[in-house]
């Protein structure tokens, strides 16, 4: 069930209304049923797969808490193997098969290669897997008690606002909220609805419009020149930001309407002055997950600089593979790991104080943004060969400026769209910071902002646009 659909609008209204009408003791069950219905709207049979790992994790959590010594680690490993195993079969088996069969062919080995599996990747399986793993890891570390109520635990990993594309929540941040009684609060509901509108605007007005141009260029990359390919890459940078942060805004707004607080996932990442800062602002729930459960577990920066670089590279390579079973994502992860390692090696500052000039800060933002866009080529390209072609032609000065006449109008439209996005995002974030400092019930400004968003969505939104990019992960 897509957030940008009439089906979801009806679903949201019905579920939210019923939520506030029901007594508190029944609300968790309503949310659980609603979450199952929400996920089943994609591919119903995959609910069975999710529940298989859910049962294992639930039992493992209780056993970890009860067990002592090596048995605690045994149940943790059981949980991790179950989750990673399911993810490996559905997401990586055919990728492994491709590479093994290619290697056998190159070695002229005539033995039959591995057989392919004709299975589709369950929507949001990577997000579900990481959230489930964080539960058993946190129980193992003693940071949260094992959840005894099976229904509440299922709701923790199935909560529909963030089920298929995050944010990836920690158990200590969300489990207790399912027990708390949520009163209807007009201010909170209006703020949540406004955030949902803001996310929908970013998705259907900015992201889906940019997608039309990006798809036309990347799908016919050999018919385009350097500047056109560069323009499409810049457009994709804003497309994926508006797509993913738009989803997160809708998720956080949906939860907020009912009284739940989810983790912020984005913080103006394209204003970062280094790649290190970028990863503190982009997909925050994933980057913090990789930091806490992978990078630090590998040793972090505690065992010398050589191992620090190794840990950064391994973390980002695995982060790349988390996004997809493709060499493109491996290269994407490698580039980000290399950026982070070089910054660490050069001692590049991430927080620039007032003694640095504004032009210098703007230059840092410009360089960081372009380094990120280089990695987006590999993220967006359909194949490694296509990515190499695009990168080589972007940096090829021959024919770089052969811009078609129709592209100038597209360029102007996209520039205006991105400027409108930045203007509205600044206004939205600034007003909410002010609201947090001095709450007010003067709703004429947020109502005016919401009316503007609705008019833009109705007037310029793409109906029947693409599903959210991160659903494939």
Q: Residue 347: is it exposed, middle or buried by C-beta count within 10 angstroms (0-12/13-18/19+)?
A: exposed
pLDDT bin (cut points 50, 70, 90) of residue 435 is very low
- Tell me what pLDDT residue 341 has: 94
Contact 167, 255 (CB under 8 A): no
Q: Give the 3-state DSSP-derived string for 9-24, with helices as H, strands as E and coil as C.
A: HHHHHHHHHHHHHCCH
Q: List pLDDT tens digits, range 302-345.
A: 888 889 999 999 999 999 999 888 899 999 999 999 999 999 98
Residue 357 — φ and ψ, nearest 5°? -75, 155
What is the Cα 213 distance to its own chain's centre? 22
Mean pLDDT, range 164-193, rounded to an integer: 91
Give the contacts of 427 (CB within 8 A, at least 6 positions apart): 449
179 has a pLDDT exceeding 90: yes
Reported as half-sphere exposure (CB side, CA atoms, 13 A), residue 82 has a value of 22
- Angle of the 226-258 helix axis to the 358-380 helix axis, nearest 10: 90
Closest CA to 240 of 300, 323, 307, 126: 323
Residue 467 — φ and ψ, nearest 5°? -70, 165
Give me the sign of the Cα torsion angle 281, 287, 292, 294: negative
- Tell me what pLDDT residue 103 has: 82
Catalytic status, residue 323? yes
- Tell me what pLDDT residue 399 has: 62
Let me know the angle formed at the C-alpha of 410 by 226 and 229, rounded to the nearest 5 degrees.
Answer: 15
Q: Catalytic residue, from 283, 323, 355, 432: name it.
A: 323
Give me the sign of the Cα torsion angle 140, 143, 145, 151: negative
pLDDT bin (cut points 50, 70, 90) of residue 434 is very low
Q: What six digits make up the tokens of 137? A: 């890891």
- Tell me what pLDDT residue 407 has: 58
Of 467 and 264, the structure prediction assigns the larger pLDDT to 264
Contact 201, 425 (CB under 8 A): no
Q: List pLDDT tens digits, range 220-270.
A: 888 888 888 998 999 999 999 999 999 999 999 999 999 999 999 998 899
Mean pLDDT, range 436-449, rounded to an integer: 58
Q: Residue 274: is it exposed, middle or buried by C-beta count within 10 angstroms (0-12/13-18/19+)?
A: buried
Cα separation, 411 vs 98, in Å, equals: 39
pLDDT bin (cut points 50, 70, 90) of residue 288 is very high
- Tell me what pLDDT residue 437 has: 39
Q: What six digits make up the tokens of 281? A: 């602002």
């Amino acid at each position: 069930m897509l957030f940008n659909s009439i089906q979801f609008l009806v679903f949201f209204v019905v579920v939210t209304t019923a939520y506030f009408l029901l007594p508190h003791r029944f609300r968790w069950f309503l949310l659980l049923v609603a979450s199952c219905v929400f996920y089943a709207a994609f591919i119903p049979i995959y609910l069975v797969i999710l529940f298989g790992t859910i049962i294992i994790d639930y039992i493992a959590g209780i056993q970890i808490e009860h067990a002592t010594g090596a048995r605690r680690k045994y149940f943790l490993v059981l949980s991790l193997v179950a989750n990673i195993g399911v993810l490996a079969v559905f997401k990586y088996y055919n990728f492994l098969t491709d590479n093994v069969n290619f290697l056998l062919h190159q070695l002229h080995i005539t033995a039959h290669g591995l057989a392919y599996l004709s299975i589709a990747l369950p929507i949001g399986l990577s997000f579900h897997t990481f959230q489930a793993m964080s539960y058993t890891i946190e129980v193992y570390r003693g940071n949260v008690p094992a959840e005894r109520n099976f229904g509440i635990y299922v709701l923790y990993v199935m909560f529909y606002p963030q089920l298929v594309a995050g944010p990836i929540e920690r158990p200590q941040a969300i489990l207790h909220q399912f027990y708390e009684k949520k009163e209807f609060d007009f201010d909170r509901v209006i703020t949540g609805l406004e955030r949902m509108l803001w996310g929908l605007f970013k998705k259907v007005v900015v992201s889906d419009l940019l997608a039309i141009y990006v798809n036309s260029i990347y799908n016919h990359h050999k018919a385009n020149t350097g500047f056109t390919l560069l323009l499409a890459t810049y457009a994709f940078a804003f497309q994926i930001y508006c797509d993913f942060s738009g989803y997160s805004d809708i998720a956080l707004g949906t939860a907020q309407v009912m009284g739940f607080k989810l983790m912020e996932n984005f913080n103006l990442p394209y204003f970062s002055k280094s790649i290190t800062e970028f990863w503190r602002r982009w997909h925050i729930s994933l980057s913090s997950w990789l930091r806490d459960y992978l990078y630090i577990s590998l040793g972090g920066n505690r065992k010398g600089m050589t191992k620090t670089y190794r840990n950064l590279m391994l973390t980002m390579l695995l982060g790349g593979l988390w996004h997809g079973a493709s060499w493109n994502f491996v290269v994407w992860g490698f580039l980000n790991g290399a950026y982070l390692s070089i910054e660490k090696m050069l001692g590049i500052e991430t927080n620039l104080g007032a003694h640095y000039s504004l032009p210098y800060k703007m230059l840092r933002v410009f360089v960081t943004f372009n380094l990120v866009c280089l990695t987006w080529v590999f993220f967006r390209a359909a194949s490694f060969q296509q990515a190499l072609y695009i990168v080589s032609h972007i940096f090829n000065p021959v024919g770089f400026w052969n811009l078609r006449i129709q592209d100038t109008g597209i360029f102007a439209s996209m520039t205006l769209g991105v400027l409108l996005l930045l203007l509205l995002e600044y206004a939205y974030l600034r007003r909410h910071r002010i609201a947090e400092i001095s709450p007010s019930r003067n709703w004429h400004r947020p109502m005016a902002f919401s009316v503007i968003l609705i008019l833009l969505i109705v007037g310029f939104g793409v109906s029947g646009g693409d599903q959210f990019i991160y659903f494939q992960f």
